[in-house]
Amino acid sequence: MARSALLNVMVQAALKAGKSLGRDFGEVQNLQVSVKGPGDFVSTADRKAEKIVREELMKARPTYGFLGEESEEIKGTDGAHRWIVDPLDGTTNFLHGIPAFAVSIALERNGEIVAAVVFNPATDELYTAERGGGAFLNDRRLRVAARRALSDCVIGCGVPALGKRNHGKFLVELRHVMGEVAGIRRLGSPTLDLAYVAAGRFDGFWEAELAPWDMAAGILLIREAGGFATDWDGGATILESGAIVAGNEAIHKALLEVIKRPIPAK
């Protein structure tokens, strides 16, 4: 696949950060860990990876804005472009030695995601996409799964962690979806969940209360793989609402209907 200069910059930043994370993953028990909030840990590996990504991206495009999970937002002088970065999505997995985590980099132009990179250094899987150019896994073209019946589908989801709101609401959604599908999976990394939808491994995905860096790259991967990714009203305010539903056209529509079923009256 041919990559633009900007996508090459993003890939190199992700690979460099991934190399750092790979070294730390091998010595996970020695990491210095601080607590950012209940169920939401941040490690020295997190901060180091974000520093690498930020320096690589800002060196290439110093006028672009930068929104990352581990640091304050940088307002770019460019005005039209912003990097959206999660240097280590799946931190809890990482700290427990579970190889399901990723570096996520998205480029936003005038409010639209136009390029995306997701890299899991534990599996050496590199997902890339550019608007209008398709989505790829290690240079292999991606398409979302073609299943059209929920009963045939494996659906990914996020589970609210300790300290998060709406545990009860999620359990209702989960009960509704469980009654319709072949299986439900939770990877513990929404970035990878969305990449798996783009790759056809998951047929769909839903989660609420996410941050922009959890979703930005995955949104473009899915759309460029022929899928649909919207907010829970079927609209485009995913990054603002923090809620996402994704799948092919049929599964996206069906999943929206199921998760929005009314909560039974007590």
Phi-psi region of 159 (alpha: psi -120 to 50; beta: other; left: phi over 0): beta
Burial of 71 (0-12, 13-18, 19+ CB in 10 A): middle
Residue 78 annotated as binding site: no
Residue 89 annotated as binding site: yes
Burial of 43 (0-12, 13-18, 19+ CB in 10 A): buried
Residue 86 annotated as binding site: yes
| Tokens linked to 257 | 């209907």
Q: Amino acid identity, residue 248?
A: N
- Cβ atoms of 193 and 227 within 8 Å: the answer is no
* Residue whose token pair is 């896994």: 137
Helix, strand or coil, per DSSP, at residue 197 = helix
Pairwise CA distance, residues 101 & 189, whole Å: 6
Residue 152 annotated as binding site: no
Closest CA to 189 of 141, 257, 231, 127: 127
Residue 15 annotated as binding site: no
Closest CA to 96 of 48, 161, 43: 43
Helix, strand or coil, per DSSP, at residue 76 = coil
- Cβ atoms of 154 and 183 within 8 Å: the answer is yes
* Residue whose token pair is 């209702």: 172
- Cβ atoms of 50 and 69 within 8 Å: the answer is yes
| Binding site listing | 69, 86, 88-89, 214
Annotated binding site for Mg(2+): 69, 86, 88-89, 214
